[in-house]
Chain A
Amino acid sequence: MNEFEDQEYSSDFELGLWKRLFYHIREHKKLIFKIMFLFILLAVVETALPMFSAFAIDNFIVGGTLEGLPQFIALYFVVILAFCSLVFGFVLTAGKLETSIVHTIRRKGFEKLQQLSYSFYDTTPVGYIMARMTSDAQRLGDTVAWAMMELVWSLAMMLFMIIVMLVISPFLTMIVLAVMPLLFIITILFRKIMLKNQRLIRKQNSKITAAIAEGINAARTTKTLIRESKNFEEFDGLTTKMKRLSVRAAVISAAFYPIIVLIANVAVGLVVWNAGGQVLVDQISLGTMSLFLNFTMLMFEPIMQMARVFSEIQSAQASAERTIGLIDTEPDISDTPEVVEKYGSLLHPKPENWPVLQGDIVFDNVSFSYKTGEQVLENFNLHIKAGEKIALVGETGAGKSTIINLVCHFYEPTGGRILIDGVDYRKYSQILLQSNLGYVLQTPHLFSGTIKENIRYGKLEATDEEVVEAANTVNAHDFISKLEHGFDTEVGEGGSKISTGEKQLISFARAILKNPKIFVLDEATSSIDTVTEQLIQKAVDKVLKNRTSFIVAHRLSTIRSADRILVIKNGKIFEQGNHKELIKKRGYYYDLYTTQFTKEESERILNVAD
């Protein structure tokens, strides 16, 4: 089981967690108090409203006179107006609070995401981060701004009504109150059962979604195996179970509401019985009795509301746990205060203090192991002189990227140190090193926007001329100027509107614009048309000149031209040397060469797009 699967979070109310949440949204304290105030006022006005009809019955109807009617109407109107203004006020304010909380949580989350280290991204699927940033954040906004605030309203409302009722008739009040605990308990009980059922339904629902997804993804294989009817039978099993669960859930909630209404009406009946008797002996007025009836029915609203709010808060707890978990995650790699003081942080760099790097890199007794304890490097020593070209080869998952990530300071050695120009790179800020880094990935990632914007990502303050020059350097200029909008062509989300080869050229231009001292290149294995392929080849040669470079190599020509080849196997440097030396050895490199590289090379020829 994946550790990121929906975990069942503890269901007890965790005060500490919510305190932590409120700590994170403390900038909106004023709004929260404002809403509480509005809600309490609202409760007062809502309590007052039924009194008008009671007054009307007692004074006008039973009294048989319309004296004071204009004043009555005026006051009534004022109270209604006040009520509506309050409704306006609280919807507006709670809306403001909701959006502000969501905004704050997302901002803090995003800020944290910009600081978290690679190891976090290695082990956390994007989908789970997205969930925290999207639906979880939204849910917390909803819960705090509406559910929690409604709790205030419910409490205030009940309190005021009980006070008014007590003043009028303690005895009748007791009758009404006697029913309340029962109502509350039943509501909570039902909520619990319903929640449990909901969970089962959600689980079944995700099974169905998965089955549909599999049905679609497997459609072609299904045809070749003529599995259609068997698949359908299985799917029918899933939907049938879903139906059963859903009907059960519906039946439970179908039972819930009638029970509540029944209890409410028992209370109403009790009031009619007792109050009616009192009216008969003129103990209370007719208006008072109608007021009680009104209040009795109005009381159920806040009680049910409260029960609902409690379960809502409880289920939002998982969201809080996840979101706060993200915001409170500490990055594995962070610059020391002294370094930040001198060179600035990730979000607030101080480039004016940065030294110029040469690109001489030393691995001094470096060990590295993952958090899981898996040891990758052990007492590893290596000296790369400025301008040297290093090729990393090995099978997928052998650990080539670990070394690259160490060089880029995306990982930090767990033992020993890495020196850049003779200085432990922990004494430089991360962003200082990374600003001197040219980085081209196997599957180049472009951001949505124009080609120009994407190239400029390498140097935000670059002029248009510089951008064009960079494109020129990597031979991307030709294909770009052939596009309808030239440099202003939109590349689409993730660069989906241009070909992989073209994306790669752009990412070269982006990297070269930075004029980096150290270059990291993960060569593409995928097929690219011959023309672009040659352009890329030339670009690589130009780009790597006079730069310390690390290449995860797939092309024979790149490997052969490297100053040094590091052969990685099972996370260790297995062999090293140049091509000729390694071939002569007839060792692991020789095997790799005869299988992997020749295969990839011929695939490249065969897969050339026409």
Chain B
Amino acid sequence: MQTFKRLYKLTKGNRHLYLLAFLCISITVVIALIPPLIISFTLDNAIMGQEYTTFVHRIFADILGTENVRNNLWIPLVAIVTITLVRSLLGYTNNRLQALAVENIIRTMRNTIYDHLQKLPYSYHVKAQTGELIQRATSAVDNIRSFIAGQASEMMRTVLLATIALVVLFNLHPTLAVISSVALPAMFVASYIFNKRFKKAFLKQDEMEGELFETIQENLSGVRVVRAFGRSAHEMEKFSKKNDKFRGFGQALFRQRAIYWACSDFVGLGQLAAIIVFGSHFAIQGEITVGTLIIFTMYANNLIWPVRNMGRILADMGRMGVSLDRIENILDEPQETDTPGAISPSLKEDITFSGVHFSYEDNKKILNDLDFTIKNGETVAILGSTGSGKSTIVHLLLRLYEYGEGSVKIGTNELKNISKSHLRKKIGLVLQEPFLYSKTIQQNLKMAKDTVLEREILAATKTAKAHEFIESFEKKYETMLGERGVTLSGGQRQRVAIARTVIKDSDILIFDDSLSAVDTETDAQIREALKEKSEDTTTIIISQRISTLREAGRIFVMERGRITDTGIHEELIAREGLYKKIWDIQTMLEDELSNE
């Protein structure tokens, strides 16, 4: 029942379509029941000249005239064809309406999920299991779609058909009607139970299949090890075990399904046989006519198999429930929100961290009582080990994460009161692993700003030393990136990302280790160009390369969530510490050479 409720909720906004569709189905079902009546009228009344068995027959007689039909047997033909034509048109309309409703629902569902995913907080995406998330957002929707597009309407049709058909049959001959429907509930229940069981077995089969695929996958991804160790035979054996097991299970399952099909066919056919035998008996007794018997067999045939199918559909509903759960799980995650009444001041001010503490969800202290001030227009470089908290500073500045204790101020404004979108608009950040979208280079570059002039793009790519290699591509700035296009090297990717960021007018520029894949020389050129372009822009450069850091106005050395040393390059290499250690390694060779 719960699932039905949720299904109903899904139809929101499209209920009028469903209502119309329902109307069409109802009429279609009623009309579908008429041809057998016409046949029986033709046989019984027109040809055999018997009494009218139902009011419908009488209506036929009134409209068409028994004699008339007897003499013009083409009339039933035309009647049947006409009725079928109407039925076809209605059926078509129904399908069309339903398709429209279903696709509306699915489109809304997809859009909602996508939009929601985008608006989930940064922290969610950091720990999200991408593969699983994608799978959920796609196949769960597909499952729901196939259910509401196919099974749901089938169910509706069957219920309607059964109701109306039974009413007609009971009108014709109650006893025979009972005989005709006695197997239906049993069929339904049996089908439901069996299919429920199959469902479980299918799940197990899927699991086994998963294991088998995993074995193949593992073999493929480890193919070099397999070969280097000469383990082909061993792998074959491992695979065969799984392959055999999967086949065995599949065959056992088919045996059960064979039993189910044979038994349910037996019940269904037995039902029809019963109608014929008992129907003959009643016909001889004069209780029913031949035409009526034909109606009974036709209706019964139209009933029993859909009922069997319905058991299967109901058993299937569980899966749809699971899919709905999965989607709701995503949608239940709270979205990122902006502080109400947040302000959008200029960020060309000093940045002050005082006593800032921060830890991610695992409670490990990342920032530990951090204090520093960066003057407006200053260039600060940060050196630190992984986990020292240097990227966290960046995350806090863009309010991708919220700090706990302490205070961060830009000028006189507390960071928490500044609007998130304003911060992100005004702070240019190049991430360590920047993402380029599968669009052209040009489109990627234009992303940061709404309207960009050709000239600005060129200036940016020249600053980022990306212009030359872009020009070397056949399609230049129109080159597609990503799976369907060119794969850029790490350094090229970083340079495009830098260009993308410098295009927008930022009050603060941050490079989070975003020159790591660029060679030293280009690195120096980029920094030189940046300096010229944004001399009075506050700039934060995070890097592990001394040559990148050394020219900065001030260098912070970060260890375990604190700044353990600050100064200019010459000061830092004069005393023992992390900075000097790294400096030594990076200049070791020169020492070595001078020793020779």
Contact = CB atoms under 8 A, between A and B. Distances in A.
Interface of A: 1-2, 49, 52-53, 56-57, 60-62, 64-66, 69, 72-73, 76-77, 80-81, 83-85, 87-89, 91-92, 94-96, 98-100, 102-103, 106-107, 110-111, 113-115, 118, 121, 126, 129-130, 133-134, 208-228, 230-232, 235-236, 239-240, 242-243, 246-247, 250-251, 253-255, 257-259, 261-262, 265-266, 268-270, 272-274, 276-277, 279-280, 286, 289-290, 293, 346-349, 408, 410, 430-431, 434-435, 437, 439, 441, 445, 447-448, 457-458, 460, 493-494, 510, 514, 520, 527, 583-584, 593-595, 598-599, 601-603, 605-610
B293 interface: yes
Contacts of A520: 228
B114 A80 contact: no
Interface string B41-74: 0110011000000000000000000000010011
A315 to B, nearest CB: 18
10 contacts: A56-B279, A80-B273, A110-B219, A113-B219, A126-B220, A220-B400, A251-B92, A276-B73, A408-B227, A514-B229
B95 to A, nearest CB: 3
Given A114-B235, A277-B73, A408-B228, A80 B99 contact: no
Contacts of A268: 35, 80
Pick from B214, B384, B589 the residue with the most CB of A within 10 Å.
Answer: B589
A254 B438 contact: no
B138 A235 contact: no
B524 interface: no
8 A-B pairs with the lowest CB-CB distances in the bound complex, closest first:
A95-B254, A258-B88, A250-B99, A254-B95, A269-B77, A439-B228, A88-B262, A91-B258
Contacts of B239: 107, 110
B261 A91 contact: yes
Interface string B105-122: 011001101110111101
A214 B437 contact: yes
A259 B114 contact: no
Contacts of B115: 228, 232, 235
B532 interface: no
A95 B88 contact: no
Interface string B259-281: 10111011001100100110111
Interface in B76-127: 76-81, 84-85, 87-89, 91-92, 94-96, 98-100, 102-104, 106-107, 110-111, 113-115, 117-120, 122, 125-126
Contact of A92 (B233, B255, B421): B255
Contact of B254 (A99, A114, A514): A99
B453 interface: no
> DSSP majority for the B interface?
helix
Given A266-B81, A606-B582, A88 B259 contact: yes
Contact of A62 (B77, B277, B290): B290
Interface in B183-197: none
A209 B228 contact: no
Contacts of B114: 211-212, 215, 231-232, 235
Contact of A95 (B39, B96, B250, B290): B250
B398 A224 contact: yes
A346 B117 contact: no
Contact of A293 (B39, B227, B425): B39
Contact of B230 (A225, A261, A431): A431
Contact of A441 (B225, B266, B434): B225
B564 to A, nearest CB: 14
Nearest to A212: B137
Contacts of B429: 224
Contact of B77 (A2, A96, A273): A273
B224 interface: yes
A80 B268 CA distance: 10
Contact of B111 (A53, A232, A445, A608): A232
B109 to A, nearest CB: 9
Interface of B: 35, 39, 42-43, 46-47, 70, 73-74, 76-81, 84-85, 87-89, 91-92, 94-96, 98-100, 102-104, 106-107, 110-111, 113-115, 117-120, 122, 125-126, 128, 130, 133-134, 137-138, 149, 212-214, 216-236, 239-240, 243-244, 246-247, 250-251, 253-255, 257-259, 261-263, 265-266, 269-270, 273, 276-277, 279-281, 283-284, 290, 293-294, 297, 383-387, 398, 400, 421, 424-425, 429, 431, 434-435, 437-438, 447-448, 482-484, 500, 519-520, 544-546, 560, 581-582, 585-589, 592-593, 596
B266 A84 contact: yes
Contact of B47 (A52, A276, A608): A276
Nearest to B84: A265
Contacts of B246: 99, 103
> DSSP majority for the A interface?
helix
Contacts of B236: 110-111, 114, 347
A254 B217 contact: no
A349 B100 contact: no
Contacts of B128: 216
Pick from B95, B214, B217, B227 the residue with the most CB of A within 10 Å.
Answer: B227
Given A96-B254, A583-B593, A87 B111 contact: no
B284 A216 contact: no
Pick from A99, A431, A435, A593 the residue with the most CB of B within 10 Å.
Answer: A99
Nearest to B32: A261
A210 B224 CA distance: 30
A212 B276 contact: no
B262 A246 contact: no
Contacts of A595: 519-520
A517 to B, nearest CB: 13
Given A239-B111, A253-B95, A458-B229, 5 more contacts: A87-B262, A91-B261, A213-B134, A215-B118, A527-B386
A212 B134 contact: yes
B233 A348 contact: yes
B17 to A, nearest CB: 11
Contacts of A219: 117-118, 120, 122, 125
Contacts of B257: 91, 95
B247 A99 contact: yes
Nearest to B233: A347
B277 A606 contact: no
Contacts of B438: 210, 214
Contacts of A246: 99, 102-103, 106
A259 B221 contact: no
B92 A254 contact: yes
Contacts of A111: 236
A88 B261 contact: yes
B230 to A, nearest CB: 4
Given A236-B111, A269-B77, A607-B385, A593 B99 contact: no
Contact of B117 (A216, A527, A599): A216
B381 to A, nearest CB: 14
B91 A126 contact: no
Contact of A216 (B133, B231, B386): B133
B437 A228 contact: no
B250 A99 contact: yes
Contacts of A57: 280, 290, 293
Contacts of A445: 221-222, 224-225
A261 B87 contact: yes
